[in-house]
Amino acid sequence: MITVMSPISRGFHRRRQDPGENAGRIPPGQYLVKDFPVLSAGPTPHTALDQWSFSVSRGDRQKTWTWDEFRALPSQDVTVDIHCVTKWSKLDTAWQGVSVDTLLAEAGQDGPFAMAHCDGGYTTNLPVADLTGGQAWVAYAYGGQPLEPEHGGPARLLVPHLYFWKSAKWVRSLELRDTNDPGFWENYGYHIYGDPWREQRYAGD
Amino acid sequence: MARAALRGRLTWQVARVSAVSGETAAVKTITLDMPDWPEHQAGQHLDVRLTAEDGYVAERSYSIASAPGEPVAITVERLDDGEVSPYLTDELRPGDDLELRGPIGGYFVWGPGDGGPLLLLAGGSGIVPLRAILRHRERTGSEVPVRLLYSSRSLDDVIYQGELGRPAAGVEVIHTLTRHQPAGWAGYARRVDAALLGEVAWPAAAMPLAYVCGPTSFVEAASQALVQAGYPPLRVKTERFGATGGT
């Protein structure tokens, strides 16, 4: 491996406010934003709630909820920090959603890995160990309001301890698998796991 | 659809700035000598890392402005409240070193094998990856028909103005100036919406391939209008600011 000594950029200095007591909440290479940037590979899908469903499957076994059934599940309020691979981080974002623990328990399913499938064809892969234990939700509200389509509404995955591309927008199903197959961005050179604290942005990081 | 880009680790490397040229008052193109650059695809971006004397580090992503096979260049818009872009546009000089890694991204890319016709929709500095696509088309001798609709605030804000004024055969460049128009301006002077795309975009029946890049509001409006006009969502590739510019 070649280690490059970073050149000093003369005349470059911090212009953003020192994050102070929040410094420990910002992973390496990230900067804080106050707004909520939108990043997606294609047009924003607009799925009507009466056409929406969510399912958990493994092989031929599948559990499906309609929107009303999904919303009748116990939900949680969570406030978390989020970190996008494009370098922005946002602190104390407030969401409401159904814990993936609840969804897997209701479905009676388990497995080592999951592929999230979304409207628009987007996919992302995660270890189930990162979706359980109170670490992940299918979120339907942000800041007390229904989640806007451009931010992933009606519902998106929320896995705040991984880079935010893992928090798939417009999520419609979790498919449990035996293998950790790459999803959409993972196929285009992004990291298979995506831990922001280890700066796992791209394959091999 | 998926053209998996398998590659090894993206290591940081030190590039030398070979040229800095002004595009508009706020936009510069920085050309780089790269010792070890795996050829990129038109539309990809790279990461820049700056290190201050006190050890402070900032990273940002920028779209690659040059075609595969050309010297790597990025085009950077100066954001007044930005941290990295003012350094790149105001301080960086030819001969300076710049740390970067890439290329990154493999979806918002075009090659001759992807065909067309191409509809390129740019808002502001969203033109940068689309310019790489235009240059790549010309360099590879592709004859895929192209329409570029480029939305700028004013004529002074149009990036690559000279180059876009001399389009290659088969390329139509259509400007819209949303805030200020010069006297006698005969082009469009409105925001990109369904009505404007109805006049400019290829009909969906032509099976066009669309690339939309710009601020979120621009990309949302333009991509929705294309889907409503019958473009299959998978034929509309988008890149929103934040992925590339930021600050």
- As a three-state string, the secondary structure of A71-113 is HCCCCEEEEEEEECCCCEEEEEEEEEEEEHHHHHHHHCCCCCE
What does the alpha-carbon distance between residue B178 and residue A202 come to, in Å, rounded to a whole number?
A: 38
Tell me, yes or no, whether B117 and B230 share the same domain: yes
Is A204 part of any domain? Answer: no
Tell me, yes or no, whether B130 and B94 share the same domain: no
Q: What mean pLDDT is predicted for residues B87-103?
A: 96
| Residue A132 lies in domain | 27-36+56-198
Q: What is the pLDDT of residue B8?
A: 65
Is A80 part of any domain? Answer: yes
In B, minimum Cα distance to A120 occurs at B233
Identify the CATH number of the domain in which residue B201 sits.
3.40.50.80
Is B27 part of any domain? Answer: yes
Structure tokens belonging to residue B7: 């590659």
Number of domains in chain A: 1
Tell me, yes or no, whether B96 and B171 share the same domain: no
What does the alpha-carbon distance between residue B223 and residue B213 come to, in Å, rounded to a whole number?
A: 10
Measure A164 CA to nearest chain B CA, in Å: 13
Is B5 part of any domain? Answer: no
Is A51 part of any domain? Answer: no
Task: Evaluate if residue B89 carries a pLDDT over 70.
Answer: yes
Tell me, yes or no, whether B145 and B204 share the same domain: yes
Of the candidates B193, B167, B77, B168, the one whose C-alpha atom is nearest the C-alpha of residue B176 is B193
Task: Evaluate if residue B245 carries a pLDDT over 70.
Answer: no
Using an 8 Å CB-CB cutoff, list chain A residues near B243: 39, 86
Under the banding of pLDDT at 50, 70 and 90, the label for residue B7 is low
Tell me, yes or no, whether B66 and B134 share the same domain: no
| Domain end among B68, B103, B138 | B103
Is A143 part of any domain? Answer: yes
Is B1 part of any domain? Answer: no
| Domain end among B103, B126, B154 | B103
Under the banding of pLDDT at 50, 70 and 90, the label for residue B3 is very low
Across the interface, whether the CB atoms of A4 and B12 are under 8 A apart is answered: yes
Please say whether the beta carbons of B122 and B94 come within 8 A: no
Structure tokens belonging to residue A165: 């591309």
Identify the CATH number of the domain in which residue B99 sits.
2.40.30.10
User: B145-192 pLDDT, tens per residue?
Assistant: 999 999 999 999 999 999 999 999 999 999 999 999 999 999 999 999
**ipTM reported for the complex, 2 dp:** 0.90
Task: Evaluate if residue B244 carries a pLDDT over 50.
Answer: no
Of the candidates A77, A84, A117, A81, the one whose C-alpha atom is nearest the C-alpha of residue A99 is A77
Using an 8 Å CB-CB cutoff, list chain A residues near B50: 9, 12
Under the banding of pLDDT at 50, 70 and 90, the label for residue B1 is very low
Across the interface, whether the CB atoms of A38 and B238 are under 8 A apart is answered: no
Tell me, yes or no, whether B161 and B75 share the same domain: no
Q: What mean pLDDT is predicted for residues B93-111?
A: 95
**pTM: predicted TM-score of the whole model, two decimal places:** 0.93
Task: Evaluate if residue B235 carries a pLDDT over 50.
Answer: yes
Across the interface, whether the CB atoms of A9 and B50 are under 8 A apart is answered: yes
Residue pLDDT tens, chain A, 205 long:
445 578 999 889 888 777 888 889 999 999 998 888 888 899 999 999 999 999 999 999 999 999 999 999 999 999 999 999 999 999 999 999 999 999 999 999 999 999 999 999 999 999 999 999 999 999 999 999 999 999 999 999 999 999 999 999 999 999 999 999 999 999 999 999 999 999 999 999 9
Q: What is the pLDDT of residue B9?
A: 81
User: B59-69 pLDDT, tens per residue?
Assistant: 999 999 999 99
Using an 8 Å CB-CB cutoff, list chain B residues near A37: 216, 240-242, 246
Identify the CATH number of the domain in which residue A68 sits.
3.90.420.10
Tell me, yes or no, whether B236 and B199 share the same domain: yes
Q: Which of A12, A46, A115, A192 to probe the B interface (max B CBs under 10 A)?
A: A12
Task: Evaluate if residue B116 carries a pLDDT over 70.
Answer: yes
| Residue B95 lies in domain | 13-103
User: B22-31 pLDDT, tens per residue?
Assistant: 999 999 999 9
What does the alpha-carbon distance between residue B51 and residue B53 come to, in Å, rounded to a whole number?
A: 7
Please say whether the beta carbons of B244 and B61 come within 8 A: yes
Q: Per the omega criterion (within 30 degrees of 0), is the bond before A112 cis?
A: no
Using an 8 Å CB-CB cutoff, list chain B residues near A188: 4-5, 105-107
- Mean pLDDT, chain B, integer: 93
Q: What is the pLDDT of residue A16?
A: 78
Number of domains in chain B: 2
Across the interface, whether the CB atoms of A9 and B82 are under 8 A apart is answered: no
Structure tokens belonging to residue B8: 């090894």
Across the interface, whether the CB atoms of A203 and B58 are under 8 A apart is answered: no
- Give Cβ neighbours of residue A133 (< 8 Å, ≥ 6 apart): A101
Across the interface, whether the CB atoms of A40 and B5 are under 8 A apart is answered: no
